Every structure is written in structure tokens, then in C-alpha cells.
Amino acid sequence: MRRSSTLPITLGELARVQPLAAAEPHLADPSRTVEQVVLAETFDRLRRCTPHVLVVLHNEAATGGWSLAAALHLAWERNLSAVVVSRSVAGGSSVALAERLHMSLILIDDDPVDVALQLAGQVSAPAAARALRQARLAELLAEQTGIRGVLGVLNRELQQVPVALMIGGVVIAGQSAALTERPQARRIEVEVHAPGERSAARLVAAVPVSGPASVEQVESLLRLARPSLQAAWAQSRLDAATRAAHEQAAFGLLRRLPSAPPPSGEQAGIEVPAWTSELGWQVGEANRAVWLAPLRPSGEPPPEITYLIRASWQRGHSTWPLVAEGDGWISWHSGADPDDVVALRRALAGFRDSAVAHRLVIGVGRAHAGVAGLMRSVAEARLAAHVAREGGPGAVQWFDQVGANAALAWLPTTEIAQVADLCLEELMAAKDRAALVQTVLAVLDAGGSLSQASQHLGVHRNTVLGRLARARQLGLTYDEPGQRLALHVLSYALTALWSDTAAD
């Protein structure tokens, strides 16, 4: 249904422009339309009102609490849109009665006659009132300096229309309800360009078809928000870039500390430099490092991603550092009790959705004291993160649970696969190579036990035997003692590589 601009204005829209913007609204239903404004001096006038009338009370009809109560009852009987009355007449009980009757009540400070005249003008020219509203919204938006502030204004002003700001598939700010598909809502999107003319983000809104706001109106309001968003975006980018550089430099300095010779031959632990606290870092106690790494490393991540990761990682834990290093990010938690991982577990659980969205895996080191301990924990976390890659996006691996298997994570599987291409040409050409290699690996893992291997693979023992025979024909001579280690490693690398590729 297309809504024209001459459609009757709604209570919600009226409440957003003067004179009612300065009033105290108690709106039972902001989407109620207002077709006419009546200035009621007497109760008789109220009795003659037709439905969808907004009534402004004055004089006899507004002489105290009882008169407002009686007027609310009449308004309810007559199915009026709202009752507007001077604040001096209404008390808390009048508001309670209005709520009980589900009748909108608006309390004003200005002269009722003036208000009624202005409202009558607005109701007779809805388009003009809507233009006023846009102007007011533009002012509100211009006052905002942050992305959250801009989205806050949009969501507050566009009642019942959730608005969200998205980068890629991730909601940066606003209400994620804007993304959920609903039958009675139309989704509209407005591109927000970053400096440099490239599309950086999208404003998404879900406009209820039967709601008070028309699609065109919402769209124009979203367009109004773009300059403020761009300014806020540039500002935060600037801040984030400065901070990221600062943290990166500081962490580099911290890392060099353990290798530097201790001053005056002291063997006690390294002193924590004072500048770490300027960054809000805690290093002095038991440190447990976390390594956030991409599932598929592809060089240094772009600063935008760092910005996003930082935003979601630090939500609720603003003092935790996030240092971009290599192809991942380091963070750590510092506390007096090395075994206390409650906060960390909570943070990891909260970060899980973002980790999946950005295809990250997470490694957690053990808790070690001091700067040197931190560096050790960082190394452990990094190792654990490599192991975590087997678990797919969002996987978390604690170093405590890794053990010697971590060595396997370091295998250069791609290079080993190249060796296979050269040495086992026939095998690599076979269609069923994956099943063959997987079977050989299972048998080797089981120490040569065919029954254990068949159980692990979930196939019959004879199948295992058949595959082994075919593998041997193709050059995978797994049972020659001199080649067993090499072929075991090769099988592991190929299986890991193929299962990764299949997972993609």
C-alpha cells in the first residue's frame, strides 16, 4: 500500500513537532490518525466530537482533576484520538486513568487556544508538518558526534521502525530487529559512503506496512542521517587508528623488555613500565593471553577489520587491550587469581557471534605472572589458535588442553601436499584418493589395528583391507618401516588440507 503525503497525520508525528514536541505526551497509540482538532470549552462540545478528533480542553472543561477525568471518559466513549490539556490540571492519577482507558493524554504548558490553533494548521496540512519534523530531526542529527548517537536519534524518532547500521553482514549500531524478515514490514536500505566515495556501510530500516511512517518518509530521514554518520565514522576511524598505532608500538616495546639485560644485575622479574597504565593495560599480575586469528590467514588484516574486531571484543571490557600483530590480534586478561577465568569465558561467549561472522578462531594461553609471563602466554595462545583452526570459525582452544599435538598444527600442510604431488603421482591422480589417504591415516593412528581403524571410519573391516591394498598399489606403502613416519605425516597433511578445503 502506497501512502501519499496528504494522508492524515498521526499522533506520533504530531508529538515530534512543535508545539507538542515541548509537551509531555502519554501516547496510548502513536499510530492513531488525527483528522481534526477541536478546542473544547464545555462538556457539551466534547459530546459532539466525532471519532479521530484530537481535543484540546480549556476553560470550563479544564477546571481540575475531575473535569479531566470526565473528559477522558467522554473521549474514550467518542473514540477520540487524544486529549490535550494544560499541565496544571493533570496529576499523576489523570495519567493513570488515561493509561487505564488506553486514551492518549498530552500535557502542555502553553496556552491551550494557541496550541489548538497551531495543531489545527498542522492537521490540515500534513505535508508541512512532516517537513517541520524533518527539519527538527536534521537539527538533532547534527548535534550527534558518534555513530551510536546518530542511530539512537533515528531509533527514537522513528518509533516502531527499527534502524540498524551494517558493515558487511555485521550490525555495528542500532537495532538488529531491522534485519529480521517480517511479513508486515518493508525493508529499506540507504548506502553510507566513507570518505573516498566507496560504500562503507548501509543503513537498514524495517518499516511496518501499517505503521505510522511511510516508506518514502523513512527513507528521506535515513538520507538526512548520512552526513552525521560519515562525520562520526571518520572521527572514530581517526581515533581508532591513533589508538591502534599507539598500542602496537607499546606492545612492541613490552615484548623487547624480557630480552633486554636486567639493570644492575638484578635477577628479580622485570618491572612493569608505568606507561602501560596510561593505555589502561594491566600487566603486573597473572596474565592470560588470547590470540584472535583468522581461520585462513592472508597477511595483515585491513584497519577496518581491526576496528570492527576491537569494537566487538572490547564491548563491556573496555580496559582489555587489542593489539594487531601479524595476521591476528593479541589481547590479555590480568588478574590476581591465575585460575579465575570467569570474566574471560564470559568475554569469549559474548564474542562468539562476531568470531563466526568474521571467520576467526581463538587461542587462549595459560596464566603467567609479569611481563615475561605475558609473552609466554602470548606464544601459547598463538599455538592454541593454530590448533583451533581444525574446529572451524568461532572455535576456541585453550593451551592447557593442547599438549604435544600442537606440533602438528605447525606442519606446513600446503608444502607437504606439494611433496605428495611429486612423490605419489599415481595416488594424487586417483578419484578416491581422499578415502584412501584417510583410511591409511586411520590405520597408522590405530597402530596398525584394522578393526580399530574400521570402527573409527565407520566402514567394514574388508573395506579397510581393500582400500589399503589399493593404496599400496598406488605407491602409499604404509607398512614399510623406513617410510612409515614420512607417510604418516604426509597422510595427516593431506587429510587436514582436504578437510579444510571441503569445509570452505
Partner 1 sequence: MTGQPGYIGASASITAEDVPALYEGAKFYSPAVGDANRSSITSWLAGLLDRNGPVPLLRVEAVPPETACVSVCVLGSGSAMADLPPAGDEFEVAVRQIERLQRVSFGAVYPLAAATISALVAVVAAAQLRVPLLDADGMGRTFALIHHTAMHLSGVSPTPLAAVGPTGESVLVEVPSGPRADRMLRANVDTVGGWAALAAYPTTAGVLRRAALPGTVSRIANVGRLLLDRTDPDVLVTRLGTITGCRRVARGRIAELEHLSRPSDVTIPAHPSSLVIEETGGLGRQLRIELRSEIVAVFADGALVAGAPDLISLLDVSRGVLATLDSLEPGDLVDVLATPADAVWYSPRGMEMVGMASHGIPLAHPRRR
Work out how close the CB of 47 gets to partner 1 at its nearest, in angstroms, rounded to a whole number.
10
CB atoms within 10 A of CB 283: 20
Q: Which is nearer to partner 1, 60 or 425 (CB)?
A: 60
The order of strands in the sheet holding 396-398 is 323-325, 328-335, 286-294, 360-369, 396-398
C-alpha to C-alpha distance for 243 and 263, rounded to whole angstroms? 30
Kindly state the smallest distance separating residue 367's Cβ from partner 1, in Å. Answer: 57
- Report in angstroms how near the CB of residue 83 gets to partner 1 at its nearest: 10
Nearest distance in Å: CB 64, partner 1: 5
Name which of 88 and 199 has its Cβ closer to partner 1.
88
Kindly state the smallest distance separating residue 28's Cβ from partner 1, in Å.
14
Residue bearing cell 556501510: 201
- Minimum Å distance from CB 94 to partner 1? 9
β-strands 185-193, 323-325 pairing = unpaired
Nearest to partner 1 of 88, 242 (CB atom): 88
Q: Which residue has the cell 524533518?
A: 134
Residue 71 CB, nearest distance to partner 1 (Å)? Answer: 7
Q: Which is nearer to partner 1, 99 or 271 (CB)?
A: 99
Task: Report how far residue 212's alpha carbon sits from residue 16's, in angstroms, rounded to the nearest whole number.
Answer: 13
- Closest contact distance (angstroms) between CB of 50 and partner 1 is 19
Shortest distance, position 85 Cβ to partner 1, whole Å: 12
Q: How far apart are CA 339 and CA 377, in angstroms?
A: 14
- Please give the biggest Cα pair distance in the chain: 108
> Cβ distance 147 to 173 under 8 Å?
yes
State whether residue 107 is helix, strand or coil.
strand
In whole angstroms, the minimum distance from the beta carbon of 359 to partner 1 comes to 56
∠ at Cα 50 (46, 53), nearest 5°? 80
DSSP secondary structure string for all residues of 391-426: G-TT-EEEGGGTGGGHHHHTS-HHHHHHHHHHH-HH
Nearest residue (CB) to partner 1, 46 versus 476: 46
Cell of 143: 548535534
CA angle 329, 335, 341 (to 5 degrees): 75
SS3 state of residue 352: helix
Residue among 41 and 445 whose Cβ is closer to partner 1: 41
Query: Cα(210)–Cα(33) distance, rounded to whole angstroms?
Result: 12
Q: Given the rule CB under 8 A, which residues bind partner 1?
A: 42-43, 60, 63-67, 69-74, 76, 88-89, 91-93, 96-97, 100-101
**Interhelix angle 215-256/147-157, nearest 10 degrees:** 160
CB 99 within 8 A of CB 28: yes
> Parallel, antiparallel, or unpaired for β 396-398 and 360-369?
parallel
Closest CB to partner 1 among 90 and 387? 90
Considering beta carbons, is residue 72 or 474 the nearer one to partner 1? 72
Q: Is the dihedral of CA 269, 274, 275, 280 positive or negative?
A: positive
Residue 42 or 50: the one with the smaller Cβ distance to partner 1 is 42
**CB 102, min distance to partner 1, A:** 11
Q: Identify which of residues 28 and 125 has a Cβ nearer to partner 1 in the complex.
A: 28
Distance CA 481, CA 460 (A): 26
SS3 433: helix
Please, which residue, 69 or 406, has the CB nearer to partner 1? Answer: 69
